[in-house]
């Protein structure tokens, strides 16, 4: 594997800092079918999309709880718990992306 491929693979993960979703899509589109770089970009893309989908899902749950319970206390408690869970998951995914990107580039 050439250094260019290693850099592209690593940057697909690290791009969570500077161009989330966009960079892995570009790498995925412009690399040849069946290459390791393309598969890595696809994996990194999913790791960039998961926090967005999780946030949308959590906000829908919070809105539903607020709408159906009509209780500020219940909505606040659910919001706090779910937002903390989302924050931990999002930070974990970002740290994993950075670690994996650095590991690929330095290997």
Interval 76-89 mean pLDDT: 94
Per residue in 19-70, pLDDT tens? 888 999 999 999 988 889 999 999 999 999 999 999 999 999 999 998 899 8
Mean pLDDT of the chain, nearest integer = 92
For the entire predicted model, the pTM comes to 0.85
| 41-69 CB burial, b ≥16 within 10 A, e <16 | bbbbbebbeebeebbeebeeebeebbeee
């Amino acid at each position: 594997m050439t250094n260019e491929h290693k850099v592209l693979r690593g940057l697909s993960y690290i791009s969570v800092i500077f161009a989330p979703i966009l960079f892995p899509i570009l790498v995925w589109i412009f690399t040849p079918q069946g290459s390791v770089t393309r598969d890595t970009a696809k994996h990194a893309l999913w790791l960039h999309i998961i926090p967005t989908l999780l946030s949308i899902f959590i906000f829908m749950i919070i809105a539903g709880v607020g709408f159906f319970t009509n209780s500020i206390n219940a909505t606040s408690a659910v919001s706090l718990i779910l937002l903390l869970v989302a924050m931990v998951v999002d930070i974990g995914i970002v740290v994993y992306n950075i670690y994996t990107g650095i590991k690929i580039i330095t290997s």
